[in-house]
């Protein structure tokens, strides 16, 4: 994604219909129950780029109730949104890599994930299923005793 200072405040949305392969890839990293190091590459101008990777748990201020403590495993993700609050480019910059790339940049963004927990069977349904199994088992046992 190419961004400029004109993109401040613009909301970028990605859902399963926008780019299914990318959406499924992001979703697999965010719901696999393991610490995944999500990598992003920033490109500033021609040939200038920086790569960074952080665990997905650092993407969020907090995980929602019902989380697994690592990521969003157990949640159905509907879509993602990204909003840049600030985006600054300084040229010439400090040449941090010593490669002649003198453009410095900084940004602040909000990355949001929208979805809901995958429902687990409720206590009521589990209780009803247990009672049905007990009744069926009891009827079978009573038939066995009557046959003999």
* pLDDT at residue number 85: 92
Asked if 38 and 47 count as a contact pair (C-beta separation under 8 A), the reply is no
Q: How far apart are CA 14 and CA 18, in angstroms?
A: 6
Distance of CA 39 to the CA centre of its chain: 13
- Report angle CA 86, 82, 62 to the nearest 5 degrees: 95
* pLDDT at residue number 34: 81
* pLDDT at residue number 101: 64
Task: Tell me the domain boundaries of the chain.
Answer: 5-117, 120-148
> Nearest to residue 26, comparing CAs of 38, 35, 17?
38
* pLDDT at residue number 29: 81
pLDDT tens for the chain, 148 residues long, are: 677 788 889 998 999 998 888 888 888 888 888 877 665 555 555 555 555 566 776 777 777 777 777 788 888 899 999 898 998 877 766 666 667 666 677 888 888 889 888 776 666 666 777 777 877 777 766 655 555 5
Q: How far apart are CA 143 and CA 55, in angstroms?
A: 59
* Main-chain dihedrals φ then ψ at residue 10, nearest 5 degrees: -75, 135
Provide the token pair at 64.
């929602």
Q: How far apart are CA 38 and CA 59, in angstroms?
A: 9
């Amino acid at each position: 994604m190419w961004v400029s200072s004109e993109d401040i405040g613009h909301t970028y949305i990605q859902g399963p219909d926008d780019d299914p392969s990318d959406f499924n890839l992001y979703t697999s990293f965010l719901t696999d129950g393991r610490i995944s190091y999500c990598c992003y590459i920033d490109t500033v101008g021609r040939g200038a780029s920086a790569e960074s990777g952080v665990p997905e748990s650092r993407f969020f201020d907090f995980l929602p109730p019902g989380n697994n403590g690592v990521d969003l495993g157990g949640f159905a993700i509907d879509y993602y949104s990204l909003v840049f609050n600030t985006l600054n480019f300084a040229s010439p910059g400090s040449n941090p890599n010593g490669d002649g790339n003198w453009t410095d940049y900084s940004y602040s963004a909000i990355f949001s994930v929208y979805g809901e927990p995958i429902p687990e069977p409720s206590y009521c349904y589990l209780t009803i299923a247990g009672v049905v199994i007990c009744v069926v088992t009891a009827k079978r046992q009573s038939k066995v005793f009557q046959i003999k």
